Structure 1
Amino acid sequence: MKLMSKGDQVYTVLVYAFLIVFTLLILFPLFYVVSTSFAPEGDYYTRGFFLLPSSWTLEAYQYLLYNPSFVSAFKSSVIITFFGTIISMTLTSLLAYGLSERWLKGRSVINFLILFTMLFSGGLIPTYLVVSELKLVDTYWALWLPGAVSAFSVIVIRGFFISLPYELKESARIDGCGEWRLFATLILPLSKPVIATFTLFGIVGNWNTYFSAVIYLNDSSKWPLQVFLRQMLILEDEKIGQLADMLFTYTPAARMAAILITALPLLVIYPFLQKYFNKGMFIGSLKG
């Protein structure tokens, strides 16, 4: 075993010290949010800043779970995320598969048009006018359809499909496998890394929907968690009470609990898809 030189040892110590400090800087805000969310209401006002509550309580979480506006916002986020991700991944993967096949006529033109949308967009006002003319305002479809197909996602997923052995697909076709069956039973199972990666992107994007919801959803009962959380954190307690139910005002503990509940689903889902992340991104981008 080769001994490290004194310079290498100093360098290693500095690297580990930097990583430890950086990790603590990341974990500190999270620890503070968790600690405050479990604290009694009086701690925040009597103690000021603290790392550990005087006693641990679930009052803030019970407070939110009995708030009909918060429960409604959570349900809206689940609906938006679930169906939005399914719609996005279905349309994106089908388009990417078609563009990866040699038999598709005019695919170079379609590829150019897709790439063009990455550089130029219609803008907010034209998009809103189109959504309004289609009678989609104040519906979840206004959140799902305009961004259902991402040009970046199509390009990367198409690159992954192209990297799959062409002979394998030809053999399946010779055996009588149709395109739909080929896509469902052969292409998708072989493409788990890239599909899982962009499914994760879709989940995160839909769960964090904010701007589109503010623009297109006028009915507060359809607001997702991000919009509701913004109202909770920014507006004054009296105004929020009017928006919510006239019965609820949000203490610091309730606000921290809401932040934690909002982030928790993504923290739970990420470990199950993380193992596919690097492989899916790099293979799709390099082989395109």
Structure 2
Amino acid sequence: MKIRESFASRLFDICNMLLMIVLMIVMVYPMVYVFSASISNNALVASGDVLLWPKDITPVAYEQLIYNPDLWISYWNTIRYTVVHVVLTLLVTSAMAYPLSKKWLPGRRPILLLAAFTLLFSGGMIPTFLIVQKLGMLNTIWAIVLPTLISTWYLFIMRTFFEALPEELEDAATIDGCGSFQVLLRIVLPLSMPVMATIGLFSAVNQWNAFFDALIYLNDRSLYPLQIMLRNILIAGTNVQGEGDLTHLETLKYAMIIIATLPILCVYPFIQKYFVQGTMIGGIKG
């Protein structure tokens, strides 16, 4: 028997649909505008004539960026910083979250309280800089990767996920002769792909967009990530060729934004199913 929907239910569905359409337009419009501005005439962009669709299409901004060697150096730096950071973050966070998910672990509660303390308080920028300096990590990849290696929020999400896994699987693996490290690698991590993909995506996006650490820890231009180059164009008004020619500065800004965000936009659809599942499961228990 077909259930007849009430007027209030239909009205709610219509309002919900309209709200989703408005939100979609709000999110899609900036992306369309940035792309249109990046391939439009610089004078039209600067004068505000480009509102949605491109006008007087020209690829000159992309040509200037593509033939600039600094772009590819910064691209490579950003890629290796992101890959190393994500891999180490997943390894170290899982290695710490797995034992903390066991209630029989001695000192588990004090360790969790100390970890939660870092959510509210931190050592500060200057002490962190001094530590990085004393360890000799300035102008190295480790100055970018190590200070933000472990996020307490990610640690708690992964710990909660591990607690929800059936203990019978681990007991069976232990009976078969697996140690704790083998159980983590062979049983727990393969079953934790949703939360691993979620934390990996968050870490990758944060590291890809990070520029402040590079700004204070790196002095060598050959080590600058992509976001420093983007910052120089967007904020400092620096021409990518360093010759003070600002003829195509407006279109360069938008072209650089497209180039900097395109990889993340391309990666997200492939791990979206893990992302949604991992976010939901990670919030089951506190």
State TM-score, norm by structure 2.
0.90
Q: Is the 8 A contact 1:194 1:276 kept in 2?
A: yes
Matched, 1:246 2:247: no
Q: Which residue of 1 aligns with 2:39?
A: 38
Q: Which residue of 1 aligns with 2:74?
A: 73
Aligned counterpart for 2:253 among listed residues 252, 255, 258 = 255
Instruction: Give the number of equivalent residue pairs.
Output: 284
Q: Show CA shifts across 1:26-85 (max 9, x none).
A: 222211111111224454357733433344333222211111222222111111111111
Q: Is the 8 A contact 1:229 1:259 kept in 2?
A: yes
- Using the TM superposition, give the Cα deviation of residue 220 of structure 1 relative to its aligned residue in structure 2, in angstroms: 2.5
Matched, 1:219 2:223: no
Q: Which residue of 1 aligns with 2:267?
A: 269
Q: Which residue of 2 aligns with 1:149?
A: 150
What letter matches 1:230 in structure 2? Answer: R
SS of equivalent to 2:282: helix
Q: Which residue of 2 aligns with 1:284?
A: 282
Q: Is the 8 A contact 1:69 1:245 kept in 2?
A: no
Q: Which residue of 1 aligns with 2:20?
A: 19
Q: Is the 8 A contact 1:196 1:277 kept in 2?
A: yes
- Using the TM superposition, give the Cα deviation of residue 248 of structure 1 relative to its aligned residue in structure 2, in angstroms: 6.3
Distance 1:168 1:49 in 2: 59
Q: Is the 8 A contact 2:46 2:250 kept in 1?
A: no
State TM-score, norm by structure 1.
0.89
Distance 1:235 1:116 in 2: 37
Q: How does 1:1-288 map to 2 (within 5 A)?
A: 1-44=2-45, 48-102=49-103, 104-236=105-237, 240-241=238-239, 244-246=241-243, 249=246, 250-288=248-286
Q: Percent identity?
A: 38
Q: Show CA shifts across 1:222-276 (max 9, x none).
A: 221222111101223xxx23x7443864532221111011111111111122212
SS of equivalent to 1:286: coil
SS of equivalent to 1:285: coil
Q: Is the 8 A contact 2:37 2:254 kept in 1?
A: yes
Describe the shift of the 1:89–1:20 C-alpha distance in structure 2 as closer, same or farther (beyond 3 A).
same
- Using the TM superposition, give the Cα deviation of residue 120 of structure 1 relative to its aligned residue in structure 2, in angstroms: 1.6
* Uncovered stretches (5+) of structure 2, i.e. residues with no partner: none
Worse-matched range after superposition: 224-233 or 13-22: 13-22
Q: Show CA shifts across 1:122-150 (max 9, x none).
A: 11111111111111112221111111111
Describe the shift of the 1:107–1:252 C-alpha distance in structure 2 as closer, same or farther (beyond 3 A).
same
Q: Which aligned runs of 4 or more in structure 1 are off by greater than 6 angstroms?
A: none
Describe the shift of the 1:265–1:248 C-alpha distance in structure 2 as closer, same or farther (beyond 3 A).
farther
Q: Is the 8 A contact 2:138 2:217 kept in 1?
A: yes
Distance 1:174 1:248 in 2: 70
Distance 2:223 2:147 in 1: 18
Distance 1:109 1:46 in 2: 60
